[in-house]
Amino acid sequence: MILVTGGAGFIGSNFVLDWLSQDDEPVINLDKLTYAGNINNLANINKDPRHIFIQGDIGDTALVAALLAQYKPRAIVHFAAESHVDRSIHGPAAFIETNINGTFGLLEAVRAHWTNLPAAEKSAFRFLHVSTDEVYGTLSADDAPFTETSAYAPNSPYSASKAASDHLVRSYHHTYGLPTLTTNCSNNYGPYHFPEKLIPLIITNARAGKPLPIYGDGQQVRDWLYVSDHCTAIRRVLVAGKPGEVYNIGGWNEKANLDVVHVLCDILDTLDPKSDGSYRDQITYVTDRPGHDRRYAIDARKIERELGWKPAETFETGIRKTVQWYLDNQPWVSDVQSGAYLKWVEKNYSQRQVGEEIS
């Protein structure tokens, strides 16, 4: 079996659902269920004996040691993290605690377990660390996309904490020989995406008749990847990745934020039209994110060349499926927009000034 951390979050739950739809190998899912973790994401497998859910902290080394001793997973896929840049600006401490100290505790428990495995199991063992393109910092318009050898230059407390965790993972391979794999992926979107992030926030605000907040001039560029393509890439790296290696994962889908918001409005105008006007009328320019990275872009040629992975979805197909998913899953949306969510929205948006439209 494998042990997944953070498997009740956005990407982790998509990964667990994908895994069990393709494979009979059981999954132990260790998740603290923070505000971002949602057990309802896993409702379709709540009676599936191949899925063992454990609520707990990755930094609880005694718990992790006990799980490793009891279940003897052949691999760890480590998703658990604090993941939202804006939250890291308002409160970095949780990011240091989970992304750095938590990953350190997890690595220590795994190292102790792995060291005592018989030789064959030891060499077959894998620790796959799921990371982000944000560790490489920001690009200007004419820079080449990030490769696996781009220098680290994180700019937010979130990306700095992920960079630190990447370095720890690297050191556990280099120093102890732990068979690690690190993936650095671009922006994901798709089902179960928590509506604090741009794409689900725009879809849910649009339908609720609320403003669609664009930070700054809306010309910041992200490289979008449909979440199931990220899951396929991780499975491929787990099977064929070389221990100690890093693989960049991206969709070759660079889009400016304003263009993404326009596409979302246009799809909603078709699938769920308003009684008058367009969803574009709700677009509102607000104060920019401090330290906002201008552009991310991933050069995904290494994973394509060495492991034969390519995304299956284009932005056009993936974004349409995503909007349709949110339209079809209104109870999930209502459920996650609870009291704590509303407090976050108030904190993040109430102090941003509303500006004039920039043409």
Which residues make up the interface to ligand NAD (CB under 6 A)? 5-6, 8-12, 30-34, 36-37, 57-59, 79-81, 83, 98, 102, 130, 132, 162, 185, 187-188, 194
E strands, the chain, are 2-5, 27-31, 51-55, 75-78, 126-132, 180-185, 188-189, 212-215, 221-223, 225-226, 246-249, 254-256, 283-286, 354-355
169 binds, among ligand DAU, ligand NAD, none (CB under 5 to 8 A by kind): none
CA distance to 39, 146, 201, per residue, from 279 (Å) = 31, 34, 13
Residue type, 49: P
Nearest residue (CB) to ligand NAD, 296 versus 349: 296
From the candidates 31, 82, 133, 229, which is the catalytic residue? 133
Tokens of 111: 């190292």
The two beta strands, 212-215 and 354-355, are unpaired
x-or-dash pattern for ligand DAU, window 201-240, by CB under 6 A? x-----------xxx----x-x------------------
Number of residue whose CB is nearest ligand DAU? 132
Nearest residue (CB) to ligand DAU, 10 versus 114: 10
CA 338 to centroid of chain Cα atoms: 21
296 binds, among ligand DAU, ligand NAD, none (CB under 5 to 8 A by kind): ligand DAU
| Sites for ligand DAU among residues 283-302 (CB under 6 A) | 289, 296
The least CB distance from residue 197 to ligand DAU, in Å, is 3
Query: Residue 7: which residues within 8 A CB-CB, separation 6 or more?
Result: 13, 15, 16, 27, 29, 30, 31, 42, 53, 79
The least CB distance from residue 233 to ligand NAD, in Å, is 11
The two beta strands, 283-286 and 354-355, are antiparallel
Is 133 annotated in the active site?
yes
How far is 209 from 266, CA to CA, in rounded Å? 15
Is 158 annotated in the active site?
yes
Say whether residue 88 binds ligand DAU (CB under 6 A).
Answer: no
Tokens of 175: 């120093």
Nearest residue (CB) to ligand DAU, 106 versus 198: 198
- Strand, helix or coil at 326? helix
213 binds, among ligand NAD, ligand DAU, none (CB under 5 to 8 A by kind): ligand DAU
How far is 230 from 236, CA to CA, in rounded Å? 10
Which residue ranges make up the site for ligand DAU (CB under 6 A)? 83-85, 132-134, 186-187, 197-198, 201, 213-215, 220, 222, 257, 289, 296
Active site residues: 133-134, 158
